[in-house]
Amino acid sequence: MMQSLELVRPSKAMDCIATVVASDWLTPTIKSIRLDLHNPDFAFLPGQSVWPKFERDGKRFSKIYSIASSPSQCPIVELCVSRVGWSSAYLQDLPIGASLPLRGPYGLMTIDRLPTLPRLYIVEGSGIAPIKSQIEWLYEQQYEHPVWLVQANPETPDELPYEDLWRSLTLQWPQFRYFETIRPESILQTIASFRNGIVSFRNGIDLDDFEIDICAVDDRSSQIRDAVLAHGANAAAVRSESFHAF
């Protein structure tokens, strides 16, 4: 995974016909789906998304899914999809070799250069997708500031997507800390523990020293955002993305 890479800022969105090259369960409801975009010009920033195109009962529509892999893997991109309704089940059930038209990239909760501050990521469920892309890219750059991940999964609380990856990254990358929270209320307790000093901050850093990205479903993102602000985070350094159905 170690690979130094200059980020290529995508000039515009493009259409691709992707091929499914892998499809693996990460939890009982969440799948990793790897797509070959067959397009050497496709570029994206960590945290961006694509819009797969669907057709159902003669109607065409599109839904947005974050890219879960680092840009260094292009033209392979990974999606991390939670099974909730028709579109997500369609993606999860695509066999290896199936074609999927899509358009992208889009999205603003990105890294467009190497950041300079400690980074705290707080995610629930498949909200890990855009954050995994960011963390993998930061690891490839051997980012020298703290990178902390707080993860929960309300769908199956004791099974967290990519938990083995995060545990092994903890051993390989001293800047990385992983907080697994396996009870639904624990994510807010973990944030409170940062504030109360239960979790020690190396070099005296505090919650308001972090840039914080939050990604969860529906109004959970804003609930978590309110909690980090209540615990002293710097509002200008907090971003959140909400997975909701269009």
Ligand X SMILES: Cc1cc2nc3c(=O)[nH]c(=O)nc-3n(C[C@H](O)[C@H](O)[C@H](O)COP(=O)(O)OP(=O)(O)OC[C@H]3O[C@@H](n4cnc5c(N)ncnc54)[C@H](O)[C@@H]3O)c2cc1C
Q: Which chain residues interact with ligand X by CB under 6 A?
A: 49, 63-66, 80-82, 84-88, 125-126, 129, 217-218, 241, 243-245
Non-local (6+) Cβ contacts of 192 within 8 A are 227, 231
- Whose Cβ is closer to ligand X: residue 30's or residue 207's? 30
Residue (9 or 244) nearer to ligand X, CB: 244
Q: Work out how close the CB of 116 gets to ligand X at its nearest, in angstroms, rounded to a whole number.
A: 26
Residue 133, C-beta contacts closer than 8 angstroms, at least 6 positions apart: 46, 47, 48, 66, 67, 68, 69, 70, 71
* Residues in Cβ contact with 174 at an 8 Å cutoff, skipping those fewer than 6 apart: none
- Minimum Å gap between C-beta 156 and ligand X is 12
- Closest distance to ligand X from the beta carbon of 145 (Å): 26
Q: Which is nearer to ligand X, 41 or 218 (CB)?
A: 218
Smaller CB separation from ligand X, 88 or 190: 88
Q: How far is CA 27 from CA 20, 39, 155, in A?
A: 19, 30, 9
Provide the minimum distance between the beta carbon of 130 and ligand X in the complex, in angstroms, as a whole number: 7
Q: How far apart are the first and last CA of the chain?
A: 34
